[in-house]
């Protein structure tokens, strides 16, 4: 994957794909207002899905900021995430974090997944 792109094959796109990860969570990482649910896949690389709830982040600006940061962090760490389907959830406390703190939390999540 080109580091500046986020192609369709690197995304979870359908309801059954999301449901499979929610039902078969093999890793759950939670820190800094970010929860990462991960399940091994049979495809040729990592795939990312975002489930950022309006209840947790009430404004579109906040939700879009978090989604943008998650996608960017995922693109930067894609090569170390071997065959994981990943769903990222956000909690309300993420609103108190700045971009650098969010990226650091995501980076630690990706490193932990990459070692498994």
Give 53-77 pLDDT, tens digit per residue.
999 999 999 999 999 999 999 998 8
Q: How far apart are CA 94 and CA 86, in angstroms?
A: 19
Is 56 within 8 Å of 62 (Cβ atoms)? Answer: no
Other C-beta atoms lying within 10 Å of the C-beta of residue 46: 23
pTM, rounded to two decimals: 0.89
Q: What are phi and psi of 18, to 5 degrees?
A: -65, -45
Structure confidence at residue 78 (pLDDT)? 87
Q: Where are the alpha helices (DSSP H) in 7-116?
A: 15-23, 60-77, 99-115
Domains in the chain and their CATH numbers? 8-115 (3.30.230.10)
Spell out, as residue ranges, where the chain has pLDDT lower than 50. none
pLDDT computed for residue 2 by the predictor? 52
Q: Which residues pair with 88 in a beta bridge?
A: 36, 50
């Amino acid at each position: 994957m080109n580091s500046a792109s986020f192609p369709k094959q690197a995304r979870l796109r359908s309801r059954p794909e999301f449901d499979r990860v929610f039902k078969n969570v093999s890793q759950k990482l939670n820190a800094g207002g970010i929860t990462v649910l991960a399940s091994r896949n049979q495809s040729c690389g990592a795939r990312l899905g975002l489930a950022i709830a309006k209840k947790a982040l009430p404004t579109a600006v906040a939700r879009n900021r978090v989604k943008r940061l998650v996608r960017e962090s995922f693109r930067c760490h894609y090569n170390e995430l071997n065959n994981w389907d990943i769903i990222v959830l956000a909690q309300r406390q993420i609103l108190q974090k700045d971009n650098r703190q969010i990226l650091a939390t995501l980076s630690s999540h990706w490193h932990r997944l990459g070692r498994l």
